[in-house]
Structure formats: structure tokens, C-alpha cells
Amino acid sequence: MSEAVIKREKSVGRERIILICMFIVYAALTFIGAANHELWFNEGQAWNIARDNDIPGIIAQMKVEGHPPLWHFILYIFTSAGCPADIMPFISWFISCVTAALLLWKAPFRPVMKGIALFSGGSLFYWSVVSRSYCLIALFLVLIAIAYKSRNDHPVVFGLLVALLANTHIMMCGLVGIIGIYMIIDLFRLWKSSPMKKNVLRLVGLAVAGIGVIALIIPLIGSIGANDYTAKKVGGLNVTAVLSNLFTVFGDITSAAVFDLNTLISPAVTLLLCFVLGLAFVAALVFLRHYRRSFTMLLVFTAFFAVICNVIWLIYPPRAEIFVFTFLTVYWLAVESEKPVYREPKPLNEKVSELGAKLIGWLRKIDKGFDKSFCVVICAYMAATIPMGAYQLFSDYAKDYSYSKATAEFIRENLPADSVFVTKYDSGLPAQYISYIPEYKFYSMTRNAFYTYYDLQIIDDEDPIDYRQVYEDLKGYEHLYLLDFSVYGTKDEASAIFVRNGVLSQWISQNDKAVRIYELDLEEDVAQYIEDL
């Protein structure tokens, strides 16, 4: 055996050990995070929808939620089996570990780049510990990147992966749409040179992807107008607001991905860093233009993401992290399946100054090494997300993430099993408590209805509460309690909706973010409101 072969085998062996160690560390850190994590209201909302609906009911609810139903279908399997809400973080943890293993052993990157991607903010916390559909997006992006080079040999499998990606989150539909267009182009391009069986399979794969998109679109028709938040936001848009949101999208992504929308750094420094790091995406797109098909994919994905997440909706940290990860996975499929196109630039005009010539020459040199340049930019950006992801993970170790479980345990230990909890403000916050204590009843004064998850349908903020209906709905219950939420205010700023002397709970929280529980007497409290009316 030659010395070169021996060295290569040793190098492969060392790399394998490094990858195994990285995976073990990652799996252990995120497992501890999942074990300590308490659901917050978006997690509880999805769990309760899956638990309290059948399949048609879940699909019907998606019009108001504005999300594809795939994640809820997965949760439905566990809720139907009678699993408690505590299992939810372990679902996302397991999916994220599968994604991590595929990334480490299948991606065509060096171990350093793999490690940075693995421990970036999204993978370390926002998808693996916080249990939402984003873990599915990362998984299917990786699977599509792996399958892309053989997509024409296994078109049905590839079409299924595209269909599944479409049903993870609406923000991925730009990427799904452009991939679908390229599937059609490949079908026509290879039709004459391929046997009929292969053409039929490509047609089937395209049909599967198309059915997946249709399955996404049908439940979401009219969802922008049906959802209270999006209807109000879209209703208030004008040309200036739309252009502003599109122009600042990279900075907003940076603010969410790197700083988690909150930072101890001064606003001026934060704004400057967001601008500088936001330019990294522009640079990445410029470098990737040599892979023309992949460049088009990222361009369409970016445009669609900007409209969905920064015009119609909001950019949150997990969505921003997915944006960064999509750049990485599209580059992955580019280097494995596409030949880059690079043309030497024309000689500089003699009129260009010496300084200008040096600057242009330096930029051209960087662009000529576009593969390395792209990797450096994306690695630097992903590395910038690690501190906030690690901070959130270790904060989740050290203290309650949402105090939902602590509140639920307080209720279960101190209040009767037939208690009814009443909320005045139309808030989704109780969903995170209901996930842990489904045996208790919750009632919304705003909606005049019992509920287990937040109703996102449009409601007129000016409509007065129908206290007469509240009285009729609750008069048959003996143990009534009012939940008073103070999520963004302080303890001193929070006020009881009904001012009574008997506050049953102490302030159930640290950091002045909590819920307070009061006795509610229909005759003294609600009846008085009716009389005042």
C-alpha cells in the first residue's frame, strides 16, 4: 500500500472521528434542551389543534392559521396515541438529529463548514429545541440537496420530497415553484433521449410535486383575509411600506438570526452590523451567479421569502435561520450537480486610475474564486448566529422558557378539576397552558366561546364584549377564575380586569412576564358590568 493511500485513509479516519464527536455533542446538547424546554404559545397552539381535531378539522383550521397541515398531521399521530405535550420537543429533536447526521455524512463540505452549520443558531436551538415545523424544512432541504444530482434517475422520490417541502411552510413555495419549473424543463429537454418508462416516471414525479402544491394551496385559499393579523397588516399596506420592507429584508433577517430581535448592543451599532451582515447575502448571490440554475433558485426564493415574511407576515429568528440554511443547501446541490460558468472579464480601460485598477483587480480575484468566496461568506454568517443560539439554549437550561409548565402545575396542584378559566383579551397565550392541562376548561369573553386554541379569525377590536352572553355561558359553573396576562409589561403595570381582594396565585414567573389568577364571581363581577351597560 502506497504512502499516499495510507495518508488518505488516516485523514478519512480522523474526519470520521471528528464528525462522530460533533454529532454526539450536538445530540447531547439539544437533548438536554428538549428535556428542559417548556412550550410557548405557538407550540401549544399547534399541539392543541392536532389533539382536538380530526384530519378534516385540522385541514379546515389551516385556512385561519395560514400554515400547511403537514406538521399538524405529524403531531396528530402522537396526540391520537395519547401522548402528553411533554413529548413535543423530542419530536423536533429527533428530526433535527436525523438532519444533522445527513448533513455531516452526506454534505460535500469540509468538517469545519459542517460544524459551523450544525451549531448555528437554527440547528442548535430554534429548530431542534423549539418544536415547530421549521425542523421539517431543514430536513427536506437536506434530502432534496442529496437527491438533486440523481433527480432524473429517481424522479418520483424527488417529486415527493418537493411536495413535502411545499407542505412545511408557505415561505418555501418560491423555492418549490422554481424547482418545479426546472423539473418541467428537464422533462422536455430529456424527452427524446430517454426511454418511455423514464419519461413516464418523470411525469409521475412532476405530478406528485404538483399534487403536493395543490394540497398546500387549497386549504390556504383566502387565508390572508381570514387571519386577523395578516388581514390588518395587508389592509394597512401602501407602496412605501412594501418597498421599505423589501429593501430592508436582509437587515431584518440579520436582526432576527444574529440578534434574536433583541440585543444589549446599542441601536446604532446593531443597525450598522445588520447592514454589513445583510450585505453578505448580496455578496453570496453575486458569487453564486456562476451556477446559473442555482442562482435563479436563490433569487426566486429570496423574493418570495421577502414578500411572505417581511411584507405580509413577520421575520422571526427560526425563519431567518431557515433563510440562511437555504443558501447553504442550494449551494450544496449546485456544486454536486451543476457545472459553473466563468468568463474572464475584459481588460480594464486605460483611463482607470491605479487605485481603481487595484480595487477592481482585487474584486475580480475574489469573484474568480467564487466557490471559496461563497463558503467564506456563508460560514461567517452562520458563525455569527452561533452566540445567540447558544445563549438561548443555555438560558433554556437555566430557567423556564415560557413558564407554561410551571403555571399548569400550579393550577393542577391548587385549583379544583372542574375549574373554568376566563380570559378577557383575545390572546393565544392560554394555548401553552392548555397543552399541559387539557382537563380544564377555558373561556374567551371576546369570542363568547370555550376554546382550547387561539381563534385567529378576524374580530373587530371596537366591538364591546357581550357580558350578557358571558353570564349565560358561565352561570352553571361553580369554580370560575380570571387569567390576567402581562407578557410584555411589568408586574406593577399589570392590572386585574376585575379588581378583587383574593389573588389566588403569587406572581408565577420571573422576569416580570407572567399570568395572575383571580377568583371570578359572576354576580359581583360580570353582573355589575351588565348593570353598568
Cβ-based neighbours of 453, under 8 Å, separated by 6 or more: 44, 45, 48, 49, 52, 428, 431, 434
Q: What is the pLDDT of residue 183?
A: 96
* pLDDT, the chain, mean: 85
Lowest pLDDT segment from 94-108, 175-189, 258-272: 258-272
Whether 55 is covered by a domain: the verdict is no
Instruction: Give CA–CA dist 246/242, Å, rounded.
Output: 6
Nearest to 322 by CA among 136, 69, 524: 136
Give the amino acid at 140: F
Q: At what angle do helices 370-398 and 111-118 cross, to 10 degrees?
A: 40
pTM of the model: 0.91
Nearest in space to 56 (alpha carbons), one of 226, 227, 218, 229 = 218
Cell numbers 446604532 correspond to: 268
Q: Which of 90, 110, 126 is nearest to 15 (CA)?
A: 110
Report the distance separating Cα 200 and Cα 209, nearest Å.
Answer: 14
Is the Cα torsion angle 417, 420, 423, 428 positive or negative in sign? positive
Average pLDDT over residues 445-456: 84
**Whole-number pLDDT of residue 41:** 85
Question: Based on the structure, what is the number of domains in the chain?
Answer: 1
- CA 25, CA 21: separation in Å to the nearest integer? 6
Contact in structure between 103 and 138 (CB atoms under 8 Å): no
pLDDT of residue 459: 64
Judged against a pLDDT cut of 80, whether residue 13 lies above it is answered with: no
Q: Which amino acid is at 336?
A: E
pLDDT of residue 265: 65
Instruction: Name the residue with higher pLDDT: 402 or 405.
Output: 405
Judge whether residue 4 has pLDDT over 90. no
DSSP 250-303: HHHHHHHHHHTT--SS-HHHHHHHHHHHHHHHHHHHHHHTTSHHHHHHHHHHHH
With bands split at pLDDT 50, 70 and 90, how would you rate the model's confidence at 514? low
Among 123, 36, 28, 134, which residue's Cα sits nearest to residue 86? 36
State how far the Cα of 32 lies from the Cα of 36, in Å rounded to an integer.
6
Contacts of 257 (CB under 8 A, 6+ apart): 121, 122, 317, 320, 321, 323, 324, 381, 384, 385, 388
Residue 433 lies in a domain: yes
Q: What is the per-residue pLDDT across 213-224, written as a single tens digit (0 to 9) for each?
A: 998 888 888 777
Q: Please give the grid coordinates belonging to residue 191.
A: 424527452
Q: For residue 478, is it within any domain?
A: yes
Q: Write out pLDDT tens, residues 85-119.
A: 999 999 999 999 999 999 999 999 999 999 999 99
Model pLDDT, residue 6: 60
Residue 526 lies in a domain: yes
Which domain covers residue 512, as residue numbers? 404-532
Task: Examine residue 474 and state whether it is found in any structural domain, yes or no.
Answer: yes
Residue 424 CA to residue 443 CA, distance in Å, equals: 9
Residue 428 lies in a domain: yes
Q: How many CB atoms lie within 10 A of CB 221?
A: 10
> How confident is the model at residue 466, as a pLDDT?
80
Count Cα atoms within 13 angstroms, Cβ side, for 87: 12
Is 312 in contact with 234 (CB distance < 8 Å)?
yes
Cα radius of gyration rounded to whole Å, the chain: 26
β-sheet with 420-423: strand ranges across: 449-450, 441-444, 420-423, 480-486, 514-519
The arithmetic mean of pLDDT across residues 219-244, rounded, is 78
Percent of the chain with pLDDT over 90: 54
Q: Looking at the DSSP assignment, which residues form a beta bridge with residue 486?
A: 514
Supply 294's cell numbers: 442555482
Query: Residues 452-491: pLDDT tens digits?
Result: 988 776 666 566 778 888 889 998 898 998 877 654 444 3
How far is residue 394's CA from residue 4's CA, in Å, rounded to a whole number?
Answer: 44
- Give the Cβ contact number of residue 303 at 10 Å: 13
Per residue in 319-357, is it b (16+ CB within 10 Å) or e — as a string?
Answer: bbbbbbbbbbbbbbbbbebbeeeeeeeeeeeeeeeeeee
Which residues sit opposite 516 in a β-bridge?
A: 484
Asked if residue 494 is part of any domain, the answer here is yes
The per-residue pLDDT for 406 is 81
Is 521 inside any structural domain?
A: yes
Specify the higher pLDDT residue, 139 or 399.
139
